[in-house]
């Protein structure tokens, strides 16, 4: 589902956008703006994920993984 949204752009940005449309980089303004917004949102989400990952304690995470692995190994039947 698509929704219409009205936006305002400064003239310089609009000129740059129109140049890309004329060069057929994008079929129209809407597609160019859609891709730009989508790309920006993806970048923000990736940087948020990176910030959250940076908060992790590697030693603690490793210990948790090894603890879980040793429990699983103990439960496996011997061949």
Is residue 33 classed exposed, middle or buried when 0-12, 13-18 and 19+ CB atoms within 10 A define those classes? Answer: middle
Q: Which two tokens stand for residue 35?
A: 């891709």
Q: Is residue 18 part of a domain?
A: yes
Q: Is residue 6 part of a domain?
A: no
Q: Is residue 5 part of a domain?
A: no
- The rounded distance, in Å, linking the Cα atoms of 21 and 1 is 24
Number of domains the chain is built from: 1
- The pLDDT tens digits of the residues spanning 37-64 come to 999 999 888 887 777 777 778 787 777 6
Above 90 in pLDDT, residue 31?
yes
Question: Can you give the pTM of this predicted structure?
Answer: 0.59
Name the residue range of residue 40's domain. Answer: 11-75
pLDDT at residue 11 in the model: 97
Q: Is residue 19 part of a domain?
A: yes
* Residues 6 or more apart whose Cβ sits within 8 Å of residue 27: 21
Q: Is residue 3 part of a domain?
A: no
CA distances from 6 to 11, 18, 30, 33, 39 (A): 16, 17, 11, 11, 19
Above 70 in pLDDT, residue 70?
no
């Amino acid at each position: 589902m698509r929704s219409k949204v009205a936006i305002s752009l400064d003239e310089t940005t609009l000129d740059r956008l129109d140049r890309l449309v004329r060069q057929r980089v994008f079929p129209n303004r809407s597609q160019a703006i859609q891709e730009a917004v989508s790309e920006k949102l993806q970048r923000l989400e990736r940087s948020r994920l990176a910030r959250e990952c940076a908060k992790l304690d590697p030693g603690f995470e490793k210990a948790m993984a090894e603890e879980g692995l040793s429990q699983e190994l103990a439960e496996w039947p011997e061949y």
